[in-house]
Chain A
């Protein structure tokens, strides 16, 4: 990709450090007394691109929110760069988040300001850089996602794929050490999907960052990531490199990779026996 220039902050150059960037241990989380995560252990080594996969509603997005400190676990710990996320105060957490970038499922661009101002947002909020320098940085970030020409557009003038790329440029504005992607492929056409996938990989390597991606798009993910965790019902049920996953005989992984309707993940939402439900309805069982 031509013109792929980045401004890498000093603290991010030590990616060779052996210590993993993110360590998750024994993480439990419940929402309204309903367990969502039931004992998650994960390690994200520095410089890698990691995917967390699983069906909808298995707690993947919740896990990202926990890593970013937007939710608190009922037990267990998340350590990012050696610091325990949920033992920090607001200012400590904000200091950590300045070094994290997050791409939301539908971009979450600020709709009242232009593409340029969206990307410039964090730079203006957190730095005292002069406007000319901010302009150069923003154009570099937009160039990296191929949308330098769209800098004057408003978010409502963008297509879904473009909005996702602008959001990506905004997320990398402060050269994060940890990038988090929440369903980056949802609702994209095949071309945009491939573009985003390649960008995620290239940005990770160019920034010297560590990336974690929550997704259920198995084909695209297998092409770009270094390691995959499979989650189901709030637990890690399988993990490995893409090659190991392809060779896996685990029934869950098999079902997921081959997109089979029924398997360890049931087709039916838990319900009483069909016959019983129908008979119950006939005798006025439903109020």
Chain B
């Protein structure tokens, strides 16, 4: 009986603690939005963060996109040719990338490349009292440090996902058309005919935008809320990557079920 009580107490404690944290995160998000004005009135702050989150993530995004496209080309051809429809390879590659793999894989890579860096940077600034010093200099750290990093991530994410898909399609083309010899004309024309701008491309962009918000918010919140020690910051970075990955996959399911219902 006592043991049961202890288990229930621990469970309740864990749940309330997580709810509290969720509440803190919501309040933090609200503050972030309130203090976002400066980010857009001083474009240099924002550009710097787009450079760090977006441009510096380009290599990993482009290389991964290419490989995902290559694999899709191989696997897709393997399956499609059994049914004698290998010309549909273009559609398969493009739809898989634009609807799912582009936004999801790019977001996962973005979380581990840029999200972890943002958490580490903000966490270390907190641990070395830089955020407190800024606050004492009458400069709001949420406006000056957090908001530009958040918006930098939100803006970079859809662009990276789009590049990922584009390079992936090119990878599919390389394997399918150049190496295997699928007819080039049908590869592109079938893709063009079947990929709809609104239902496929726009929905993909909306997904990557939502993932961008989720990853950027998790990254800045974990950094800002980290325990200001070496161990605390390292845990915060782990939490950023883990929570982002779960959030991306869960959000992907929710968004997909709304977007592609009955198609």
* Contacts of B123-138 to chain A: CB distance below 8 A: 124-125, 128-130, 132-138
B178 in contact (CB, < 8 A): no
- Nearest Cβ on chain B to A72's Cβ, whole angstroms: 14
- Nearest Cβ on chain B to A51's Cβ, whole angstroms: 20
Q: Chain B, 113-145, contact with A by CB distance < 8 Å: what is the 0/1 string?
A: 000000001001100111011111111100010
> Which chain B residue lies CB-closest to A98?
B138
Is the beta-carbon distance between A111 and B139 smaller than 8 angstroms? no
Is the beta-carbon distance between B144 and A104 smaller than 8 angstroms? no
Is the beta-carbon distance between B128 and A108 smaller than 8 angstroms? yes
A102 in contact (CB, < 8 A): yes
* Contacts of A82-140 to chain B: CB distance below 8 A: 94-95, 97-98, 100, 102, 104-106, 108-112, 121-122, 125-126
Partner of A97, one of B124, B125, B136, B144: B136
Is the beta-carbon distance between A121 and B137 smaller than 8 angstroms? yes
> Which chain B residue lies CB-closest to A182?
B129
Is the beta-carbon distance between A122 and B130 smaller than 8 angstroms? no
Is the beta-carbon distance between B136 and A102 smaller than 8 angstroms? yes
Partner of A100, one of B125, B134, B136, B144: B136
A68 in contact (CB, < 8 A): yes
Q: How far is the CA of A70 from the CA of B138 in the complex (A)?
A: 11
Is the beta-carbon distance between B138 and A126 smaller than 8 angstroms? yes
Chain A neighbourhood of B130, CB < 8 A: 108-111
- Nearest Cβ on chain B to A137's Cβ, whole angstroms: 15
Q: How far is the CA of A271 from the CA of B170 in the complex (A)?
A: 71
- Nearest Cβ on chain B to A180's Cβ, whole angstroms: 8
Is the beta-carbon distance between A68 and B144 smaller than 8 angstroms? no
Is the beta-carbon distance between A122 and B137 smaller than 8 angstroms? yes
Chain B neighbourhood of A110, CB < 8 A: 125, 130, 133-134
Is the beta-carbon distance between B133 and A108 smaller than 8 angstroms? yes
Report if A122-B135 is in contact (Cβ < 8 Å); known contacts: A104-B129, A108-B128, A108-B130.
no
Chain B neighbourhood of A112, CB < 8 A: 121
Is the beta-carbon distance between A125 and B136 smaller than 8 angstroms? no
Chain A neighbourhood of B121, CB < 8 A: 112
> Which chain B residue lies CB-closest to A93?
B138
Chain A neighbourhood of B137, CB < 8 A: 97-98, 121-122, 125
Q: How far is the CA of A122 from the CA of B133 in the complex (A)?
A: 11
Q: Which residues on A are within 8 Å of B, measured CB to CB?
A: 68, 70, 94-95, 97-98, 100, 102, 104-106, 108-112, 121-122, 125-126
Given contact pairs A97-B137, A111-B128, A125-B139, a sample of 14 additional A-B residue pairs in the complex whose CB atoms are under 8 Å apart = A70-B135, A70-B136, A95-B138, A97-B135, A100-B136, A102-B133, A106-B128, A106-B129, A108-B129, A109-B130, A110-B130, A111-B130, A125-B137, A125-B138
Q: 28 pairs across A/B with beta carbons < 8 Å?
A: A68-B136, A97-B135, A97-B136, A97-B137, A97-B138, A98-B137, A98-B138, A104-B132, A104-B133, A105-B129, A106-B129, A108-B128, A108-B129, A108-B132, A108-B133, A110-B130, A110-B133, A110-B134, A111-B124, A111-B125, A111-B130, A112-B121, A121-B137, A122-B138, A122-B139, A125-B138, A125-B139, A126-B138
